[in-house]
Every structure is written in structure tokens, then in C-alpha cells.
A and B are shown apart, each in its own frame.
Chain A
């Protein structure tokens, strides 16, 4: 069992949980993920790590209440224990000195973006971070990412903070102005990653995206997370989760992520009724 050692509500439905998991904390690398299960009847869901501390033996996740499991996670308190957490899973981010890297995070994707930005910065890259959220109050990790970026842009859909619009607007402008960009790293909603990849393609800028398909075991055994990369089937859990954005079949990913919408809704409704 894995104890929650600290918890912070970043907004009404976004929560930061620090969980005791020494084996994971010791080996975690930027870009990797964990699978967790709240209780015996729980679902195994993949979540990205926002941070880890090998001395304390903890990993930090930031989660947005979207379905039953994430809502249940949000209701847990310090001292509560999780049934299972396993990791670090997936391949780590390739940490080369590319030159200038634009890191783009959307919504809860910013949680994974933070360790990637930090590691890319340490590898000697110049970092331009672009972060987007629906509204100012749901923007996460602004201070942390600012501290490891050379330049930072904030966008909100409703204009309550920074640029009124999408992260892709800022990137498009940079490319149009012929700013030198050696690589783009994007993590967030699938549609955001697709738009970013479409924007960089004509400019030939290498674009890495971190995909979030549905997983069951997370260790390469089931193929629930299969994605099509350059026409070839890959398992995001072991071959990814990062892939070349120009080669990803985003349409397939969007369709596959809708597989259990009805069941997800049913599960959430049942849970909402139970907690009322």
C-alpha cells in the first residue's frame, strides 16, 4: 500500500498528491509515467509524474477530476493509501542538447511538461515554454516551469491571463517570424498535439508529442494503448509514450480514446450518486 504524504488542491478539480513509492522515486526519469489503482475494485489508470524525490522516496502526481477514478483520487486525504502504483514505465525523454526547444503544455499535460522542461534545460537547451489552460485559476506549475525556462508564454482560452487564445497561436507566430527553433515538445489534449504537429510540419521542425491512450497493464502485455506511428502499430506504454508528432495517426488515437465513453459516464454517475 502506498501512502499519500501530502496533498494540495491546485484548483477545485486539480489536485497534487505526493505518494510514498520509493522504488519508483529512485528510478524515475523525465517523460515516464506510472499506473495506479485506488482500491481493490479500482481501474488501473496511467498518470504522468509531475515530480519525484528519491531521498524522501515519493512521487508527485497532479490530476484533474475527469472520471470516476480521478474524482475518487481527488477525495483522498493525507494518510490514505493507494492499492497499487507501479513504475516508472515507458521510455524516458531523449535528453540531448538540441539548441532551442519550445515546450508546450496544455491543461493537465503541464504536469508532465515540468520534469521534461527541467531535464531539457539541464541538458543545455534554451527553453521557450508555452503553457495553456482554460482559465487563469486552472493554470498549474507556472512558477516551477518559469524557473527552468528562458522564456515563458501563458495562454488562457478565456483571456483571464496572458494571451487570449491557444498555445498554437504563439507557436505559429514564432515560426512565421522565422525564430530559430530546433525542436518542439508538446503534451496536452490530443487535439492540441495534433494542431501543433500540423503547424510545425511545413517548417520541418522536429516535434515530439507525449501520447495518452487507454492502458490496462502499462507493461506491454495487452495492446490497449496501441497507436499507429508512420503506419506501424506501436504500444505507447513500452515504445512510447513519446513519439514523432509528424508520424502519429491522431484520428485513430482520438477514436480509440472514445472506446469506453459510455461506460466511463455510467461509472461516474454511479460514483456521484454514492458520494452524495
Chain B
């Protein structure tokens, strides 16, 4: 391998640190936690990259990237002091680098495969931080719209402006299609705007990424609930193809007694109030978000961490994560768990609520929990949590946030019987992201169930390629019986 021939030089084993707001300070504001690195540091970080060549023997950084960014190539550009060239390479693959540079689970993806990270006592190259830096560097200088090919006479409707929808809209606009992007809420971005908190992904950045996509000629229509404000039928009459990416926005409940008490909210409601509606500015913003002294968040994913950390910032005295497995099984990103712990979020593992009790005004005051232990691994490979009978105990709480996952948004399938769904409510798609309705493609959480931003973008990428093929070469569509499972 190439690196073996290079003259031996002292390797920097660890990532160059990312400066962060100190925990005791940041729990009183909604500003971003990582402050960002300098150009100088990023260039030094780039020197840590070994520029691995493609290998059949092992997976490399780009194999771990759901949108397939040519990572060694962009890092090489940084090594050569060509930052513009570097961001140019990223944007060929990824339309939302400032978002991905912040919320991607790189540790399991590109950085998880990084050869440097496999060396004893070494950390992988900080690919995510470099992506973030380059996107921010470009935005600060003013993003230039790329040169676009001549406009095609084909029209595409994209339903949902989250990560998958934005990806498809941008990719198809770059190929010259006339794209209209529909968003149900009053601001575009989907989960990037209503779900992910400001301190993890500033909304100004989402706005800038969406503006960039608008400069590609994408027409944005907000306040449009497809299936209610306009039907899929109408869209298919007005367009040559449709992409559905309506996400997993339907909160799951545990269906245990007392769940409708005041003070018990879905993660979606709590985060939408905080993020989209800016409840942290109340009463300067009109939407309230009442937070108690002792908050329990049920669940162990990124959304649960977001809830627990937002609670502290809104003034909770104690913020607990209640999770039925152990720390090892927490599905949240390590960085999020780490940040939550630094900020004083407390963890109650091997615990699940079974019942809530309210006071005379209908507010939750107590939560009965059962203790759990881990049994044999289940289908997901994680050890199944089992109830320990007779070991129930009570916790005093005045706010409970349910963050146990989201189901696919049902409005499009419910109002469009031609579109087949699975028993979990996801839209059935084939390898080309085609649905059972001709000309209609789907990706993101509506097709996969709740997953990550970058996986939704990867699905969008595949859909955009398939849609281009469908619109320009081959209008074939799978036979109806294909969709019978």
C-alpha cells in the first residue's frame, strides 16, 4: 500500500480537538455546542489522512458513506490548500454538507472504516469535522450557484422537504428538470427544522442549504399537505414523476395507563414547540412549552438525547433518560450521549415505565417503572429486555417526554390507495425506489422507517438516479404483481 512507501514521519494519533461551549455555560443557551475549527487546524487534520487507495481487502472511508462522497479526493484538495476544490468535490455527492458535517453518525460510517483509526491508540481522521468546516467556509464566502444545464421540459414534484426530498430536488434540478418541492409546514427542512435542536443544527444553516437548493431553480411551496391540500392524483397530472419523502412523523406511544395526562408529550410535540416554533424565546415567540422541574425522557436514541438536553436548556432541574436496556445498547450517537452526560443528564438504565399517575388538575406527578434485565439477542442482534417481576418502583416526575420512535406519516398512503404499504406503514419500494404507483418514487423514513438524515439522503440519491433514468430513457415499471408481498 501507498502509505508504506512514504518516508516515516511522526503521526498525530488523535483528532485535533473541536472547541466546544463548556457544559455549565451551554445548558443556559441554545447556541451550537461545537464552536468550529480554524482553517489552520483543518489543514493539519487533513495531513493525518493516509490517502488510501481502493482495496478489495478492506472497506475504506467512502464505502461507509451512504451518499458515496470521494473522501480521499476532497481531503487531498485540503492537503493541497485548495479549499474551494475540496468543497466542490463534496457537493458533487452531497447537497447538504453543512447539515451532514454536524449530524451524521460518522463514527459508524466513514470514520468507522478509516484506516488511521485502526492503528493502535489512534483516532480516525476527523472527516465529519472537515466536511463541516468546508461547508461553513464556503457559506461565509457566499455560495455560488453552479452552472446549470439547459432546462428540460420534464416536471417533477417532490413531496416533503426533509433530507431525502432536498436531495432529490437538488439532484434533479442540477440535471435540468423543473422541480417543485412541497412542504406541509410553514418552513422547509422537515426533521432538520422541527426535530433537530438549534444547539445541534442551527436553523440558519438549514435555511442557507435550502436557499442554495432554490438557486438551482427548485420552486418551493410551503403550507401544502399533499393528500389534503393537493392530491397525489393532481400532482401526477401536473408532473412527469413524483418523489414521496414524507418521513416518519407519527409519534409512537406505549399505550400504558395515564399516558394522556398533562405534562406527558411526544418527543415530536416537545421538539416541534422548541425548534420549529422557537418556544425557548417565549413570550417573544408565541408558542409556549411548559417544562417541569423533573423531566423523564423515555427512550435512548438521538431524539431522546435531544429531548433531555433541550429540557435542561428550558430550565428543568433534573433531566433523566429512562432506557430499558443498558448504556452499551443506547442507539444514540456516542457524541450525543457524551454531550448529554457532560450537561448533567442522568441515566436510569434497565427501566421502563408501566403507568403514570396524575394530580387533581390532571398533571402527571408520578411514574411507576419496572426493572428490566437483558435476555437473549432479538432479531436486531441486541439483547432483548425482559421484565423483572415484583421489582416495580416509583419515580416523581412532572414532565414526561416519549421518545420511543416514530411511525411513517400516513397521509399520502391513506389518500392514495394505489400506493402499497407494508404492515409497518412504510411505502413499499424496489431497488430503484419505485413504488406501486407508476411514476411515483419514495425514499427516506417513509420507505425505511425511522432512520438517520444521511440514510434518507442516500435513498434520495438512488431515487434521483432512478428518476432520471425513468424520465430520460426507460419508462418501464414493474408489473402490478411485483408489489404483492
Chain A: CB-nearest residue to B263: A259
> What is the CB-to-nearest-CB distance from A40 to chain B, in angstroms, rounded to a whole number?
8
Does A122 sit within 8 A of B, measured CB to CB?
no
Residue interface bits B188-201, CB-to-A below 8 A is 1, else 0: 00000010000000
> What is the CB-to-nearest-CB distance from A88 to chain B, in angstroms, rounded to a whole number?
6
Most chain A CB within a 10 A radius of its CB, from B223, B272, B362: B223
Residue among A69, A89, A221, A260 making CB contact with B250, cutoff 8 Å: A221
Which chain B residues lie closer than 8 Å to A220 at the CB level? Answer: 249-250, 409-411
Does A85 sit within 8 A of B, measured CB to CB?
yes
A43-B286, A260-B288 are known contacts. Are A223 and B262 too (CB-CB below 8 A)? no
- CB-based contact A222/B272 at 8 Å: yes
Does A86 sit within 8 A of B, measured CB to CB?
yes
Does A44 sit within 8 A of B, measured CB to CB?
yes
Instruction: Give the total number of A-B pairs whose CB atoms are below 8 A apart.
Output: 117
Does A252 sit within 8 A of B, measured CB to CB?
yes
Residue interface bits A206-250, CB-to-B below 8 A is 1, else 0: 000000000011011111101010000100001000000000000
- CB-based contact B186/A84 at 8 Å: yes
- Contact residues, B289-342 vs A (CB, 8 A): 290
Residue among B222, B278, B288 making CB contact with A263, cutoff 8 Å: B288
A262–B273 CA distance with the chains assembled, in angstroms: 17
- Size band of the A side of the interface? 35 or more
Does B268 sit within 8 A of A, measured CB to CB?
yes
Does A255 sit within 8 A of B, measured CB to CB?
yes
Does B284 sit within 8 A of A, measured CB to CB?
yes
- CB-based contact A43/B411 at 8 Å: no
- CB-based contact A23/B273 at 8 Å: no
Does B68 sit within 8 A of A, measured CB to CB?
no
Does A171 sit within 8 A of B, measured CB to CB?
no
Residue interface bits A31-61, CB-to-B below 8 A is 1, else 0: 0000001000111100000000000000000
Residue interface bits B212-238, CB-to-A below 8 A is 1, else 0: 000000000011110011100000000
> What is the CB-to-nearest-CB distance from B77 to chain A, in angstroms, rounded to a whole number?
39
Which chain A residues lie closer than 8 Å to B290 at the CB level? Answer: 259-260, 262-263
- CB-based contact B251/A222 at 8 Å: yes
Does B285 sit within 8 A of A, measured CB to CB?
yes
- Contact residues, A166-193 vs B (CB, 8 A): none
Does A267 sit within 8 A of B, measured CB to CB?
yes
A86–B265 CA distance with the chains assembled, in angstroms: 23
- CB-based contact A252/B362 at 8 Å: yes
- CB-based contact A263/B283 at 8 Å: yes
- CB-based contact A223/B266 at 8 Å: yes
> What is the CB-to-nearest-CB distance from B335 to chain A, in angstroms, rounded to a whole number?
26
Chain A: CB-nearest residue to B362: A255
Most chain A CB within a 10 A radius of its CB, from B223, B259, B268, B286: B286
> What is the CB-to-nearest-CB distance from B416 to chain A, in angstroms, rounded to a whole number?
15
A210–B458 CA distance with the chains assembled, in angstroms: 43
A223-B251, A223-B268, A255-B361 are known contacts. Are A41 and B228 too (CB-CB below 8 A)? no
Which chain B residues lie closer than 8 Å to A104 at the CB level? Answer: none
Does A256 sit within 8 A of B, measured CB to CB?
yes
Q: Which residues of A contact B (CB under 8 A)?
A: 23-24, 27, 37, 41-44, 68-69, 83-89, 216-217, 219-224, 226, 228, 233, 238, 252, 255-256, 258-260, 262-264, 266-267, 270
Enumerate the 6 nearest inter-chain pairs by beta-carbon distance, A residue then B residue, closest first.
Answer: A255-B362, A263-B288, A222-B269, A84-B186, A43-B286, A221-B249
